[in-house]
Structure 1
């Protein structure tokens, strides 16, 4: 466990996390709507393009409304995830891939908390490119067995979780199923024990929170809560436990 590696990864992911609030704000719209192009409070247009997405300004210039979650929160979350992954995986060839999906996970969790949605425009490209990136690593390290196991884990998890999403009243959405399939690539690379942990830990994390909210009266039995944060937090914990 190299303190230099852990610190470097934490700082890199934390820096990336500071840029996420404006992106989350633009993507946090109801299903089927385009990216938010104006302030939701006053309607003043936001700067278009990549520069607008990655702007560090977190309040509207006209009405001072906050544009997205606090940057310190996304920065700390991404930095903590990066440090934990570096400590768990060490200087492995796949470490950059895990760091990238951790930053993406912070972004997805912020969007899900804001509008109960995990956008396909973020999840599907990640699903498409992940097998290619892992194949590049496997070609360099000879870990084709790990690649095949990761592929099988993704396919099996995708079928299981899509089936769960199709069940009426289950509270598990198609976005959750797609994210689960994506994360299963990362679990499967480490082993079937990681796949099992990745499937179980999100529910174990979500249950106490749900019970606390029910006890406080903030939600009812029929309320639907965003499952993405528990899914992604449980996934991070599963990777760290499995790697250690």
Structure 2
């Protein structure tokens, strides 16, 4: 069962990452206050399709292998491609568009609410909502303290990640959040050591938030 489920998830990630996301990534990768790039529709091939396909396939397969046939797997398989798209845009232009972050929060909340009504689920919906609120509060405070270091797009992404982690427990929230900060710090120090950045260089934090949350979910799903 796990083999078929993992294979199906990998194929889902390959298809979404390779054929559904690249054009959207191209259109959304513009500086703030600029209109989206013109293209024929939002779904379809575009630049960077192969990396997106590989990332989505690997991440979806890993989640399916770890979570198994629990109801929440459907929510994760929607969030993984969305997260890959957000990371791609953030890396390109240092922004997390509202058109991605806000629906991600809504889908996570509603999807996990439905999962909580189904047999065999592995988490708690009320705790997920509290986790989303906690992570939003943390990132909002960090934004107030240092707006240049913590963009408001990161703040808007935080609720979705907090809910995903909170679904499995407060230990997952802590682990996933700390992992994101640790990965971001390691990347920053590496760039400084290689002289590819200085203390004033802006570094996209969204990809590290997403990687940390993915790691937290993978770790906690088997608890």
TM-score of the aligned structures, taking structure 1 as reference length: 0.85
Measured in 1, the distance between the counterparts of 2:161 and 2:146 equals 24
1:75-107 deviation digits (Å, cap 9, x = unpaired): 000001001101111111110101110110000
The answer to whether the 8 A contact 1:202-1:233 is kept is: yes
1:4 is the counterpart of 2:4:
yes
Question: Greater CA deviation, 157-166 or 103-112?
Answer: 157-166
The answer to whether the 8 A contact 1:134-1:147 is kept is: yes
Measured in 2, the distance between the counterparts of 1:125 and 1:179 equals 10
Cα distance, 1:140 vs. partner? Answer: 2.2
1:25 is the counterpart of 2:26:
yes
Measured in 2, the distance between the counterparts of 1:215 and 1:189 equals 38
The answer to whether the 8 A contact 1:109-1:229 is kept is: yes
Cα distance, 1:31 vs. partner? Answer: 1.7
Measured in 1, the distance between the counterparts of 2:201 and 2:166 equals 33
1:34/1:214 CA distance change after superposition, 3 Å: same
Q: After the TM superposition, which residues 190-229 of structure 1 pair with which residues of structure 2 at under 5 Å, given as runs?
A: 190-229=168-207
Cα distance, 1:132 vs. partner? Answer: 1.8
Aligned residues: 221
Measured in 2, the distance between the counterparts of 1:239 and 1:79 equals 17
Q: After the TM superposition, which residues 38-187 of structure 1 pair with which residues of structure 2 at under 5 Å, given as runs?
A: 46-47=39-40, 52-56=41-45, 58=46, 68=47, 70-141=48-119, 146-168=124-146, 171-187=149-165
The answer to whether the 8 A contact 2:122-2:221 is kept is: no
TM-score of the aligned structures, taking structure 2 as reference length: 0.93
1:15 is the counterpart of 2:15:
yes
Superposition CA RMSD, Å: 1.8
Cα distance, 1:169 vs. partner? Answer: 5.3
Cα distance, 1:145 vs. partner? Answer: 7.4
The answer to whether the 8 A contact 1:164-1:170 is kept is: no
Measured in 1, the distance between the counterparts of 2:124 and 2:141 equals 26
The answer to whether the 8 A contact 1:5-1:91 is kept is: yes
The answer to whether the 8 A contact 2:21-2:44 is kept is: no
Measured in 1, the distance between the counterparts of 2:120 and 2:53 equals 35
Cα distance, 1:141 vs. partner? Answer: 3.0
Measured in 1, the distance between the counterparts of 2:12 and 2:123 equals 30
Give the equivalent residue in structure 2 for 1:64: none
Q: Which runs of 5+ in 1 are unaligned?
A: 38-45, 59-67
Cα distance, 1:142 vs. partner? Answer: 8.4
| Bigger Rg over Cα | 1
Matched residue SS, 2:202:
coil
Cα distance, 1:187 vs. partner? Answer: 0.5
Give the equivalent residue in structure 2 for 1:35: 36
Measured in 1, the distance between the counterparts of 2:68 and 2:114 equals 19
Q: Which runs of 5+ in 2 are unaligned?
A: none
